[in-house]
Amino acid sequence: MKSFFYLATILFILSACSEKKAKEAKAISYSIKKIFPHDKKAFTQGLTVADGRLFESTGQADSWIAEVDIATGSHDKKVILDKKYFGEGISILNKKIYQLTWKNHVGFIYDLKSFKNIGEFHYDYEGWGITTDSKNLIVSDGTNKIRFLDTLTLQSVKEIIVKEGEVVIDKLNELEFIDGYIFANQWQSNYILKIDPATGQVVGRMDLSRLAEKIYPLNPQADVLNGIAYERKSKSLLITGKLWPALYALKIE
């Protein structure tokens, strides 16, 4: 009889642990405010808003940074990288644009007004997404780790491991800092994750599958969801993807 109760207790504990690990963060609902055109040749890696202006960065052999006219989707290329660099995310802080590259282990710094290259920085991990909390730069490397970089030394001063419950979450890509939380595209999924920067816990997730399903018939070459920007005045979440012909303005419910 004792062995029966012992076994039952163990099974109960394992079941409880399993439920804890499988528990997902709260779903974040949203509505579509407006749909804008987007360059379907743009392999989007980064999207950000600064001073009411929309900026985008792309990857592959013709990586560039541009200011985008949201109404038309047209853009004026401000920076075109050498073909040896695969451009990744961008962030803007203190009138400077910070750009990551994928496997080259080098990032570039540009003056926001002139787009002149004014510096570079180096890192020993892959560059994926980048954003800022107005104090540090925050970067992802495609794993479960997010680093906070000092803006003077551009060295890591803090690192968090992202988890949902007890499950480690990886493939973190493009980032945006919104109202005290990090929002991250999860590569090869239609999810945007809301992450507590203090703990690394995923506290919410947006399922954008219905948007992606509308995109692929418009461009069969369309790739994954990637690109998050927040326009604070209108409280609009702007999202797009690699080779997507549309950019969505969403309202978080």
pLDDT in tens, the chain (253 residues): 434 444 444 444 444 444 444 467 899 999 999 999 999 999 999 999 999 999 999 999 889 999 999 999 999 888 999 999 999 999 999 999 999 999 999 999 999 999 999 999 999 999 999 999 999 999 999 999 999 999 999 999 999 999 999 999 999 999 999 999 999 999 999 999 999 999 999 999 999 999 999 999 999 999 999 999 999 999 999 999 999 999 999 999 8
Residue with tokens 């692929």: 216
User: Positive or negative, the Cα torsion across 30, 178, 52, 234?
Assistant: positive
Q: In what order do the strands lie in the sheet with 181-186?
A: 26-27, 202-207, 191-195, 181-186, 172-178
Return the pLDDT at 195: 98
CA 241-183-128 angle, 5° bins: 60
Structure tokens at 148: 């906070």
- Six-digit token string for 95: 């009138």
> What Å distances lie between residue 130 and 5, 34, 101, 133, CA to CA?
52, 25, 11, 10
Give the per-residue pLDDT at 23: 66
Residue 18, pLDDT score? 41
* pLDDT the model gives residue 67: 96
Q: Give the fold, CATH level 3, of 28-252.
A: Neuraminidase (2.120.10)
What is the pLDDT at residue 126? 98
Q: Which pLDDT score is estimated for 84?
A: 95
CB atoms within 10 A of CB 81: 20
| Cα–Cα distance, 8 to 195 (Å, whole number) | 36
Of 200, 205, 129, nearest to 167 by C-alpha is 200
